Structure 1
Amino acid sequence: MIAVWVALAGSLGAVVRFVVDSALRARSGSSLPWPTVLINVTGSLLLGILAGAVLFHDAPTAMLTIAGVGFCGGYTTFSTTSVDSVRLIVARRYAAAAAIAFGTLATTLVAAAAGLGLAAVW
């Protein structure tokens, strides 16, 4: 039964990502994929908080599985970051591609750590 909840949460996460990404892209005049970066950072922060709730506050592991694997897995989109980076390389925007690829990696790691830290002190 947990697999059904994970699938439902993943579906919801993907829909939320699509809505947020579409809304941000419509408002952004930038050719850089900042909405994708923002989605990945916020998803990593949420995943850190969820993991911290389980580690530090005895929250049920099923919550982490459903919300973390399901929702956050559907919400975040590292494959899109890869495609966006390749598109920038093809457009010969090498610095932008490196900034998106490595910047996303760095900021998502910091966001996940921040989420763990927030959960630890809460």
Structure 2
Amino acid sequence: MNWLLVIAGAVIGAPLRYLTDRAVQARHGGAFPWGTFTVNMIACSVLGGLAGAASSAVVPQWVQLFLGTGFCATLSTYSTFSYETLRLAETGAKLYAVANAVISVVAGLGGAFLGGAVVQLFL
């Protein structure tokens, strides 16, 4: 039955990723992939919060499977991040490509730590 929880989370996360990406990118034109950056930062923050809560043993396994493995895994997108970074470099926007790689990794880790820290404050 665990796989059903993962699928249920993915059914929500995948379309939300696409819709959020398109909505953000439509508002922020230009070369930088703001949509992918946004969904990845949200997923990192939520997953960090989930990890912070799970480390205190207050999160049941079904929530971890639904929210972490299903929802966050499909909300975030490493493959699109990689593709967009490569495309930026190939089209001559090397500064944007480097900025996307560095800022995404640093902000993603920061979001995960911040999400975990915020949840720990309330536990």
Tell me the TM-score range normalised by the shorter chain. over 0.9
Per-residue displacement from partner, 1:49-100 (whole Å, max 9, x unpaired)? 1111111252212211221110000100111110001001111211110110
Q: How many residues align?
A: 122
CA distance in 1, matches of 2:91, 2:11: 32
The aligned counterpart of 2:61 is: 61
Secondary structure of the structure 2 residue equivalent to 1:30: coil
Report deviation, 1:11.
Answer: 2.2
Structure 1: segments with no counterpart, 5+ residues: none
The sequence identity of aligned pairs, in percent, is 30
| Residue type of the alignment partner of 1:119 | V
In the alignment, residue 72 of structure 2 is paired with which amino acid? C
Answer whether contact 2:5 2:62 (CA < 8 A) is retained: no
Counterpart of 1:117 in structure 2 is 117
Q: Where do 4+ consecutive residues of structure 1 move more than 6 Å? A: none
Corresponding residue SS for 2:56: helix
5+ residue gaps, structure 2, are none
Distance in 1 between the 2:25 and 2:121 partners?
35
Q: Which residue of 2 aligns with 1:8?
A: 8
Q: TM-score, normalised by structure 2?
A: 0.93
TM score, norm. by length of structure 1: 0.94
1:21–1:39 Cα contact (<8 Å) kept? yes
User: In structure 1, what residue type is equivalent to 2:109?
Assistant: L
SS of match in other structure, 2:109: helix
The corresponding residue for 1:36 is: 36
Alpha-carbon separation, structure 2, partners of 1:53 and 1:99 = 31
C-alpha contact 1:56 1:119 (8 A) present in aligned 2: no
